């Protein structure tokens, strides 16, 4: 894992997971309730929402799914907006936040609010996180309460 701390003026941390998330085209979504606006190509899932895709799971209180329909083709998800107790789980990270946006076209997940990224080797907190699923690069912006800085706590390897 490579960690790059930027200057306090930038107030961001980049984390290269060296492991792009292998996501599939298939997305499974379940929830307690569903509301669809087919004219606007929007579906809202409410209550214990679980979004599963190969390589990642997103849990949230509410998820809005945006579709794009082209003539003669099936509808395709373009974006998911999540709000309320958002949790993103990959093979190497568990990330909690207040809200999230998953851009399916760019394969970028943006999480915001109180972001807490946990890995086996430590924890990083910040205000906003951008996760590029293709490259595995995670960028985290600092929180105002920490003077605009990102905060990290890491476990040192044991001596052999």
Q: What is the pLDDT of residues 95-151, one digit of tens each?
A: 999 999 999 999 999 999 999 999 888 899 999 999 998 888 889 988 777 677 888
How far apart CA 109 and CA 100 sit, in angstroms, is 7
Total domains present in the chain: 1
- Domain presence at residue 5: no
Q: What is the pLDDT of residues 135-147, one digit of tens each?
A: 888 899 887 776 7
101 CB contacts (<8 Å, ≥6 apart)?
A: 79, 80, 81, 82, 109, 110
- Domain presence at residue 141: no
- What is the span of the domain harbouring residue 131? 22-135
What residue has token string 């109180």? 114
How far apart CA 42 and CA 68 sit, in angstroms, is 9
Write down the pTM of the prediction: 0.79
């Amino acid at each position: 894992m490579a960690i790059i701390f930027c200057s306090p003026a930038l107030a961001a941390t980049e984390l290269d997971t060296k492991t792009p998330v292998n996501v599939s085209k298939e997305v499974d979504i379940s929830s307690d309730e569903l509301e669809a606006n087919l004219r606007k190509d929007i579906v809202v899932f409410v209550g214990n929402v679980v979004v599963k895709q190969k390589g990642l799971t997103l849990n949230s209180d509410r998820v809005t799914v945006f579709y794009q329909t082209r003539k003669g083709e099936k509808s395709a998800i373009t974006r998911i907006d999540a709000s309320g107790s958002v949790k993103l789980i990959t093979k190497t990270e568990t990330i909690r936040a207040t809200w999230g946006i998953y851009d399916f076209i760019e394969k970028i997940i943006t999480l915001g609010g109180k972001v807490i990224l946990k890995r086996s080797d430590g924890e990083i907190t910040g205000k906003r996180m951008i996760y590029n699923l293709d490259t595995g690069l995670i960028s985290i912006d600092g929180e105002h309460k920490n003077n605009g800085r990102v905060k990290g706590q890491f476990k040192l390897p044991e001596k052999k």
